[in-house]
Amino acid sequence: MATNQFYKETTPLSVYVTNLEEYVKGNLVGEWISLPIEKSNFEDFLKTIGNPEEIAIHDYEDNLGLDGLVIGEYMSLQELNELGERIENIAISEVDTLNALYEALGDFEEALKCFESGDYVYYGDMTLEEIAKEHIEETYDIPNGLKNYIDYKAIAHDMRCDSYYETEYGTIEIL
């Protein structure tokens, strides 16, 4: 991939922006750009592809591995920048958490909002049965003779029906 001053391989989100006027004429004129970008830098970037009236997004790179992230072909600079700003500070260690939220909620925007608000508890690789046991033992003083009679599997089932999700990326509770 050819690089330019507006593209950095290490940026979490990059898009391939094309000059739509040229594209309609049959010419593929475009460049990669990393997001977010300052408005003045975007105007300079547009000059590199012929300063078009309209742009289209023909490809994107998600260097974090975010499930559910979709970049629309006709997203505006403002939408792209806002999305770039929202994901630029997501640490690699937090990607599994966001992906677990996406798997639980089924909508990337909702998952990102929940992630940003912190309205979740991420348990990582713990199973719901392990979480149920931990919650019960921390909440109640259960005599040792009764601990073997508690049905943690049934409690885990109830938790699954409430706000807990076991995902490919770990177990998460949405508050």
Closest CA to 108 of 64, 58, 56: 64
Confidence at residue 1, expressed as pLDDT on a 0 to 100 scale: 53
| Assigned token pair, 169 | 């990326």
- Which CATH superfamily is 95-174 part of? Antirestriction protein ArdA, domain 3 (1.10.10.1190)
Max Cα-Cα span within the chain: 80
- Which CATH superfamily is 13-90 part of? Antirestriction protein ArdA, domain 1 (3.10.20.480)
Could you read off the pLDDT of 53-103 as tens digits, one per residue?
Answer: 889 999 999 999 999 999 999 998 889 999 999 999 899 999 999 999 999
Could you read off the pLDDT of 93-148 as tens digits, one per residue?
Answer: 999 999 999 999 999 999 999 999 999 999 999 999 999 999 999 999 989 888 88
Range(s) for CATH 1.10.10.1190 in the chain?
A: 95-174
Residue type (1 letter), 149: Y
Confidence at residue 134, expressed as pLDDT on a 0 to 100 scale: 94
Range(s) for CATH 3.10.20.480 in the chain?
A: 13-90
Confidence at residue 170, expressed as pLDDT on a 0 to 100 scale: 96
Asked whether the whole model's pTM tops 0.75, one would answer yes
Residue 97: helix, strand or coil by DSSP? Answer: helix
DSSP strand pairing (170-174 vs 55-62): unpaired
